[in-house]
Amino acid sequence: MTPKRKISVRKVLQFLVTIIVTAGCIVAISSASKLEDGKFINNIDIQIRNERKCRFIDKGEVLDILVNSRHADIKHIPVSKLDLHSMEQIVSTNPWVANAEIYVDNVHDLHVNLTQRVPVARVFEEDGNSYYLDTALKAMPLSDRYIYYTTVVTNVPVVKDDSAGIALRAQVLEVVRFVENSNFWKAQVSQIIMLPDSTFELVPVLGHQRILLGDTSMLEEKFRNLYAFYKKVSNRIGWDKYDVIDLRYKGQVVASPALPWKAPVDKAMSSMNWVKNIVGKDINTTEAAVPVSVPAAPKPQPASPEHAMATSAMGAVTERSKPVKTEVRAGVKAQAHAPPAKAPPPPAAKKMVQAEKKELKKDPVTKKAAPNEKKEEGATKEQTPKYLYKANNDNH
């Protein structure tokens, strides 16, 4: 027969004591937690970590988001009924809040700790819309009560929050970070322009040049070359000597000199001045002609338009006056006479006939045209002489 195993009383007592103590602890903890959950919040402590760096949001606005906008009094709500996770999500929905932490301590104080989003660039899109861009490539709206001064980037295409938009913002952020990390370039670069081909152009504070930066590759080398150009070239010949500075080529800086400014030319006014000059020369040449009393053989020539109109208006048939021929010396060019003045209104029929008879008795007078002083350079043929005439309209 096997011997009976003896049960140790000591071990049994230890086991019972352990169970009783454990149960008591559980009951005590549960009772304490119930008591704590039944209590209310004493105070609300709001802390903004980077409040001095930017002021897009303040403690009062955070309190409005959590309490006033929801028409709830947290101090009169039991701790057990507070959904701290939902409260964190509500605060994080603010566009100027990067993250938020909310908890209740052992003295029943509610702590709200949040961090503001800090802009690194202010972006102006092609359609005129403007927003801030932070280090997380998130767009931040502008504030009505606070302006944060940072690097300005203009002419940025309108993008969405997709992969293409994030890639474009990453390029902008890369250039802005390089400028912001250097005290010299931060003071020298006033604006960054994005060109249609997704390259960048810098607008300097000192000087009026267009600095073509190109894409975001080799930024350190490009800015180092530009600094050397400032130090060795611009300091010697002047900062406004060149109009365009191109950094897009590896290992070199291409500078284009500024061209002198010229006033715009009005083509219409130039044409009018050209016509006026020609007409003025013709008039001056005609007035300079010297009359010569050398009779010329009469040659049939149609009457002047003014004389014909005056005769037809009166209905009288009169003999047409003989035309006057001008004699031109050989080898001398002549200019056309200025157009005759407008004839006065026709007189009575009787006076008209008498005037015609007087004109028939007059001898023809010829005029010699003065030579043209200014000849065209490179002309190979002589121009055909222009005959000068004087209409017989003096007595009409």
Q: Which CATH architecture has domain 43-116?
A: Roll (3.10)
- Partners of residue 48 on adjacent β-strands: 114
Two domains, one topology: 43-116 and 119-257 = no
- In the chain, what are the domain boundaries? 43-116, 119-257, 267-368
pLDDT by residue for the chain (396 residues), tens digit each? 455 566 677 777 787 888 888 888 887 777 666 656 567 888 889 999 888 888 899 988 998 888 776 656 777 788 878 888 888 998 988 999 999 999 988 888 889 999 999 999 999 999 989 999 999 999 999 998 899 999 999 999 998 888 889 999 999 999 999 999 999 999 999 999 999 999 999 999 988 889 999 999 999 999 999 999 999 998 888 888 889 999 999 888 998 886 554 555 555 655 666 566 666 655 454 444 444 444 454 555 554 444 444 444 444 444 444 444 444 444 444 444 445 555 555 555 455 545 555 555 544 444 444 444 444 444 444 444 433 333 444 444
Decide: 210 and 201 in contact? Cβ < 8 Å: yes
- Structural class in CATH, domain 119-257: alpha beta
Decide: 193 and 203 in contact? Cβ < 8 Å: yes
Give the pairing of strands 200-204 and 210-214.
Answer: antiparallel
Name, in order, each residue with C-beta under 8 angstroms of 336's C-beta and a sequence gap of 6 or more: 282, 286, 386, 387, 388
Distance, in Å, from the CA atom of 213 to the CA atom of 219, rounded to the nearest integer, reads: 8
Q: Is 203 left (phi over 0), alpha (psi -120 to 50) or beta?
A: beta
Decide: 107 and 42 in contact? Cβ < 8 Å: yes
Q: How far is the CA of 176 from the CAs of 23, 88, 241, 315, 365, in angstroms?
A: 63, 32, 27, 93, 89
